[in-house]
Amino acid sequence: MNAAFYITPKSSVTYLYDDWNVKYALGQLKKHGFTAVPVIDRDGCYAGSLSEGDILWFINELMCNGETDIMAQCENTLVKQILSAEKYPAAHIDIPEPDLVERALEQNFVPLVDDRRSFIGIVTRRSIMSKKLKSVLTE
C-alpha cells in the first residue's frame, strides 16, 4: 500500500494560500477548528503548514518589540512571511508505508505532493489508524 490508500484529497482539505494575511488565516483556523493547516501558493504548490503556535509566536514577537496595533500588523503581514517550511514537511505520494506511518507519529498530518510539488492532499494519523484497525478486525 502507498499513501494514496490513506489520503484525504485536496478538495476535502482546509488549506490556506500563502498570500492571505495572518488575520484572515487565524479566522480560518478558528472557523474550521484546526490547530494547523497546509499552506499552498497560487500555483498549487505546497509551501508549508501554519499552526496556531506560529501565529502566537508572531504576535508575541510584535508585543516584545513594543507594537501596539497588533491587529493592523496581522492584517499587513502575509502568511508566507511567518511560515516555517520545516514544520510538517511534505511527502511524495509514493512514500513507502512505513515511512508514512513514522511521519504521522511525529506530526498530526502528512501533506502529500506529486512530482511537481503540487499539493494533492493529506494523510492523517486517524486515517492510518482506522484503516489499520479495520484490516486487523477483518483478518
Q: Where are the alpha helices (DSSP H) in 33-124?
A: 52-64, 70-76, 79-82, 97-106
The residues facing 36 across adjacent strands are 51
pLDDT digits (tens, 9 = 90+) for 13-30: 999 999 999 999 999 999
CATH architecture under which domain 3-138 falls? Roll (3.10)
User: How far is Cα 55 from Cα 20, in angstroms, rounded to an integer?
Assistant: 13
- Return the C-alpha cell found at 55: 501565529
CB of 24 closer than 8 Å to CB of 48 = no
CB of 58 closer than 8 Å to CB of 82 = yes
pLDDT digits (tens, 9 = 90+) for 88-128: 899 999 999 999 999 999 988 999 999 999 999 999 999 89
pTM above 0.95, yes or no: no
The domains of the chain are located at: 3-138
